[in-house]
Structure 1
Amino acid sequence: MNFKKNIEDICTRLDGVDLFGVAPIERFLDLPENKRPTNLLPDAKSVIVLASQVFKILTDKLSVSNKVGEISYRDIYNAHNETVINDLRQTGYRVARYLTNKGFTSINLGQDLTDYRTISSIFSFKYAAVAAGLGVIGKNGLLITPIYGPRIKLTAVITEAPIEPDAVNAEDPCQDCNICIKVCPSGALKEPEQDQRVNHNRFVCNSYYTASGGCGLCMSRCPR
């Protein structure tokens, strides 16, 4: 049975997804055991990653300024995000239900799985998206896709169904670009060391984001 084509049909029919990819479970073996998909579904065979764009016109207007009387686009941006995330959750549920009804146990993971004690996730959507060929992790620590850059939201479905995987994207979107590092107001982003892909202090980032009421410059200023 062509699961992949049917999943694509679900995503297209519901119109809540712009990109989707599939990763085989073997691509997660480098992760710690408690971060692997099999920690949530022991007999998992595939991870399906769904992505929807966040409108660039809204991210371009994000600002850390809180001047009295200045127009704030953050409320509009947040409302837009909520709509995107809700659509993704609905589509992820429909995909998981379809596979479950075909006899393959599946779990749709919603959107936010962050453990705020460590500011880390019990399952990384970004890692899964890289494994599914949707993009690569940039110097800003965000998934960067060829079409939408970092302006996306993600969700995932873990399933026991064996589904044809997508090729991993090997493109380096950052190369010599350091814009996100230069504009980061908290200093949480640094030039990666020789053995690093990202040099991001998530605790500094989260503290600044919370104290200032938001940020997002590493996303909005990304030229991709």
Structure 2
Amino acid sequence: MREIALTKKVEDTAFKMNADFIGIADAACFEDPEYTGNKPQDAMAEVQSVIILGVGVPRGAFETLPAGRAEYTNTLMAATATLRIVAFQIAKLIEKEGYKATIVPTEGSEFGYWYADRETLKANLSIKYAAYHAGLGNFGINHLLITKDFGPRIRMTAILTDAPLEKEEKGTLPPFINEKCSKCTKCIEVCPAGAISLDGKIDRQKCAQYMFNVLGGLRCGLCIKVCPQ
């Protein structure tokens, strides 16, 4: 089938260009009434697939924190730049096959001062939500995606396309919230902004204000550093 062949081309290209993981979610998952964020359908009405591309971030970038925040931030930016190049080539590949493709802004730029709503600090759409529905991981209490191979130490981007690619089966998805988080409060305890609460809520304003006002735009990363997964 054409969709199987194109899916394999997309996956092979991603891995050849040094992506560490790739997943494909059905864009219809964003129509679930429990999802309250922005939807890919708002940007591309005929979207069928959301391709998630990711790389693992070197552990050394986290181990130097908090002293090495400049190095950590630079490492994250390098990961984002890598993903943009991979995504662009895949978008071009898809269009050569007769479909449309466009690249989603890297999620939030840590609550989205570049891309997201200034009031809610939500990104254009949740790449993490798409990644969950693509079977790549589930959510931690710190609202980060917890993956099997890299834990939360990842960077992701996504592509919207009207191409009918192979999707993850719904019945194979893990629980929405990672089970290990129920017995761990390390991210809550370490957060210097006090932005993470036991009930699973996160104060985006506190997090953003700490990074952009206290740290001057550098990224924090402490909740990722202490995560045992």
Instruction: Note whether the superposition's TM-score is higher than 0.5.
Output: yes
Whether the aligned pair in 2 keeps the contact of 1:47 and 1:159 (CA below 8 Å) is yes
Per the alignment, do residues 173 and 104 of structure 1 end up closer, same or farther by CA in structure 2, a change over 3 Å counting?
farther
Whether the aligned pair in 2 keeps the contact of 1:49 and 1:156 (CA below 8 Å) is yes
Measured in 1, the distance between the counterparts of 2:220 and 2:81 equals: 22
Q: 1:60-139 maps to which residues of 2 (within 5 A)?
A: 60-63=63-66, 72-111=67-106, 112=109, 113-139=115-141
Q: Which amino acid aligns with 2:86?
A: T
Measured in 2, the distance between the counterparts of 1:13 and 1:105 equals: 22
State the Cα RMSD in Å. 1.6
TM-score (norm: length of structure 1): 0.87
SS in 2 for 1:99: helix
Tell whether 2:50 aligns with 1:43.
Answer: no
Question: What are structure 1's unaligned runs of at least 5 residues?
Answer: 64-71, 193-197
Q: Percent identity?
A: 32
Q: Compute the displacement of 1:215 (Å).
A: 2.0
TM-score (norm: length of structure 2): 0.85
Question: What are structure 2's unaligned runs of at least 5 residues?
Answer: 110-114
Tell whether 2:217 aligns with 1:215.
Answer: no
Q: 1:14 aligns with which of 7, 14, 17?
A: 17
1:164 corresponds in structure 2 to 166
2:183 corresponds in structure 1 to 176
1:107-152 deviations in Å (ceiling 9; x for gaps): 1124243233421112111111112111111101111111111111
Measured in 1, the distance between the counterparts of 2:55 and 2:12 equals: 16
Moved more, 48-57 or 118-127: 118-127
Moved more, 47-56 or 118-127: 118-127
Structure 1 stretches of 4+ moved >3 Å: none
Measured in 2, the distance between the counterparts of 1:40 and 1:173 equals: 35
Q: Compute the displacement of 1:205 (Å).
A: 1.4
Per the alignment, do residues 8 and 216 of structure 1 end up closer, same or farther by CA in structure 2, a change over 3 Å counting?
same
